[in-house]
Amino acid sequence: MNSREQLAQIYLDKRPAAAAQVLEAMAPEASAALLAELPARMSGPVLAAMLYHYAARCLSHLSADYIAKVVQQLSAQRSAALLRGLTSVQQEAVLNQLAIHHASTIRILLSYSNNLIGAWTDPHAITANPENSVGETRQRLQQIEVKDIHRLFLVDRDHHLLGNVRISTLFQAKDEVNIQSLAGPVPKVLRARTSLSVAEQHKDWQQFLEMPVIGRGEEFIGIITYKNLYRALQELRLGQSDARSEEEQMLHGLTGLYRAGILGAWQTWMDLFSIPMEDRGADHEQNTGRRRGA
């Protein structure tokens, strides 16, 4: 490995988000060829930082084995977003190589259309048993190294949402206090089959950074942050814009061919009518004579 390759690897490893932006300016197959030379642990964060529809196009040029190694490092929500652009056959080839729990969670997310909240829900939201004490709950949170979580959600045995507790409130309470006594009312929820555009208009975004999501059976299935909702909407619009651009290019090409055909025929007639009558007759006689072997 030469010094330039070493420098590129260091950059991809230390600045994955910046590297993703650089790669997005390249053809997807070129980016895929570069990433394929890296260990999956390095390319995973880069792919996760890319625009999802571009990352999916990169993945389509990589082997299922390599993609599986990448997906193993990412959350189910990120993994589903990346795999969504692949064919169902390609998706299954990757999912069959993952741990059963991780694969089944991704399959649930992939079952939703990408314009629905369910497709972008983080299924690993922190939940707690309302019968536990504050001390027990805090100990559990420390074990799973919670980061960037503002609330935890109380659920019953059927996973129905009972309430929520702010993390700041939890860490200020005494260990022996029952966690249910700290709970606020059941928060407003978004249904998994709500469209992204409708969810964006929900008035509770004015006061919450994330919203709980429920499925068909009213069970709590995770949360969606406004950041992820906004990114999903941007991805959807970019994807639609790309699709329109491709259609417009195709239509432009077809229109060009059609116009070329019409103009070609018109030019032929104009050329014909621009020839003096006597010359046309002479050409006709000459051509007839050639066909007869004169």
> Domain boundaries in the chain?
3-111, 127-225, 233-292
On the question of pLDDT at 41 being above 70, the answer is yes
What the block records as the tokens of 36 is 């394929």
CA distance 49 to 45: 6
Mean pLDDT (whole number) for 180-186: 85
CB contact set of 278 (below 8 Å; sequence gap of 6+): none
Mean pLDDT (whole number) for 259-266: 46
Three-state secondary-structure class, residue 255: helix
Query: What pLDDT shows up at residue 282?
Result: 39
Q: Give the residue with greater pLDDT, 271 vs 114.
A: 114
CA distance 223 to 13: 29
Fold (CATH) for 127-225: CBS-domain (3.10.580)
Residues paired with residue 76 on neighbouring β-strands, in sequence order: none
Other beta carbons within 10 angstroms of residue 258's beta carbon come to 10
Other beta carbons within 10 angstroms of residue 141's beta carbon come to 17
Three-state secondary-structure class, residue 289: helix
CA distance 228 to 46: 17
Query: What pLDDT shows up at residue 100?
Result: 93
CA distance 165 to 152: 5
**Residue 74 banded pLDDT, cuts 50, 70, 90:** confident
Candidate ranges 209-213, 242-246, 277-281; pick with highest mean pLDDT: 209-213
In the chain, the percentage of residues whose pLDDT exceeds 70 is 79
Three-state secondary-structure class, residue 166: strand
List Cα–Cα distances, 233 to 4, 116, 205, in angstroms.
37, 10, 15
CB of 17 within 8 A of CB of 11?
A: no
Other beta carbons within 10 angstroms of residue 40's beta carbon come to 19
Share the mean pLDDT of the chain: 80
Query: What pLDDT shows up at residue 236?
Result: 82
What CATH code would you report for 3-111?
Answer: 1.25.60.10
47-51, long-range: CB < 8 A, 24+ apart: 47/20, 47/82, 48/16, 48/74, 48/78, 48/82, 49/16, 49/17, 49/19, 49/20, 50/20, 50/23, 50/24, 51/24, 51/235, 51/238
Residue 76, CB half-sphere, CA atoms under 13 Å: how many? 25
On the question of pLDDT at 98 being above 70, the answer is yes
